[in-house]
Copies of this chain bind each other. A is one copy, B any other.
Amino acid sequence: MKMVTAVIRPEMFDSVRAALEADGIYGMTVSEVMGRGAQKGIALRFRGKVMPVELIPKVKIEMVVPAADVDKVVRIVLENCRTGRPGDGRIFVLPVESICRVRTGQIDQADP
């Protein structure tokens, strides 16, 4: 299992949620975060001065999926969240050792 963590623009969330669902990815945990990118935020021109904006609201989606699905999830996020402008976000993939469904207590070990 892997945890795919996508940090994206808040307004893209609805479409990516729908797209993931259409492709069978349901489980996700979502939180609102603030982000600073490699570009140190977006530079705004204001009355002639360029002012970097430090922290910008983002949405973080965490999805634990089988290793085999990682590419699909990444692709869907890319398709739905890319504007080509700074601030589009990042996707991180982290290893997960085991996952347990609280309702049943059933534990999935990591993929072999």
- B-contact bits for A80-92, CB 8 A (1 contact / 0 none): 0111111111111
Copies of this chain, complex-wide, total 3
- Determine whether the beta carbon of A64 is less than 8 Å from that of B92: yes
**When the two chains form the complex, which single residue of B2, B3, B36, B64 contacts A27, counting CB atoms closer than 8 Å?**
B36
Q: How many Å from the CB of A46 to the closest CB on chain B?
A: 20
Nearest CB to that of A67 among chain B residues? B97
- B-contact bits for A1-15, CB 8 A (1 contact / 0 none): 111001110000000
- Determine whether the beta carbon of B31 is less than 8 Å from that of A33: yes
- The reply on A40 being an interface residue by CB < 8 A is yes
Q: How many Å from the CB of A4 to the closest CB on chain B?
A: 9
- The reply on A19 being an interface residue by CB < 8 A is no
B contact residues around A85 at 8 Å (CB): 103
- Determine whether the beta carbon of A55 is less than 8 Å from that of B30: yes
- Determine whether the beta carbon of A96 is less than 8 Å from that of B92: yes
Residue positions of A touching B, CB distance < 8 A: 1-3, 6-8, 17, 21, 26-40, 54-55, 58, 60, 64, 74, 77-78, 81-103, 105, 107
